[in-house]
Amino acid sequence: MPPLPLHIEPLTREAFAPFGEVIETADARSFPINAGTTTRYHDLARVELAGEASRTLINLFDGQAWHAPIEIRMLERHPLGSQAFYPVDGGRMLIVVAPPGELDESRIRAFVSAADQGINYARGTWHHPLLSLQRPARFLVVDRGGDGHNCEERMLERPLQALL
Ligand SMILES: NC(=O)N[C@@H](O)C(=O)O
Ligand code: NI
């Protein structure tokens, strides 16, 4: 069965709100610190931690390059915590998500981030693992460590193809 088309939407805070936050400086709350030598972009996304012995992990991910056509055959979710990705060298991501709860494949949506945008998946948001577009790129990743199983994968009934 051929994959269904998956349209790409512009990544905005409003559009991404059902899935988490967009991490960007545009229109962010900011203020000068360190005697005015630094600007702090404050409280950009919510880190969620649940379960036994949970703690925040700070990681770096080196994503391999993905090129069109990109088929989406599975999604995953982290029931015990959020997961944030921010490009450290201007990499862009294909972001494929569905709202938390029982997976409804009709509610899968896709976005492409800009070189100065990251995202934070809210706890339980369905998403595809990192997809670094067109080139290898490094991402700062903040997510949850601790006891318990924090990654549930689900194969899609109908694969999708991102219309890049
Ligand atoms: N497995 C892992 O650490 N990464 C995934 O959760 C991902 O979303 O890329
Ligand atoms: Ni993940």
Q: Please report the pLDDT score of residue 82 as a whole number.
A: 99
Ligand 2 center–CA 79 separation, angstroms: 10
Q: Where are the domains of the chain?
A: 4-162
Condensed to tens digits (0 to 9), the pLDDT of residues 115-133 reads 999 999 999 999 999 999 9
CATH 2.60.120.480 fits 4-162, yes or no: yes
**Partner residues linked to 132 by β-bridges:** 65, 93
Residues of the chain with pLDDT under 70: none
User: CB–CB of 134/102 below 8 Å?
Assistant: no
User: CB–CB of 131/139 below 8 Å?
Assistant: no
Q: Please report the pLDDT score of residue 1 as a whole number.
A: 83
Question: 129 CB less than 6 Å from ligand 1?
Answer: yes
pTM of model > 0.95:
yes
Ligand 1 center–CA 129 separation, angstroms: 5
Interface confidence (ipTM) of the complex: 0.97
Length of the chain: 164
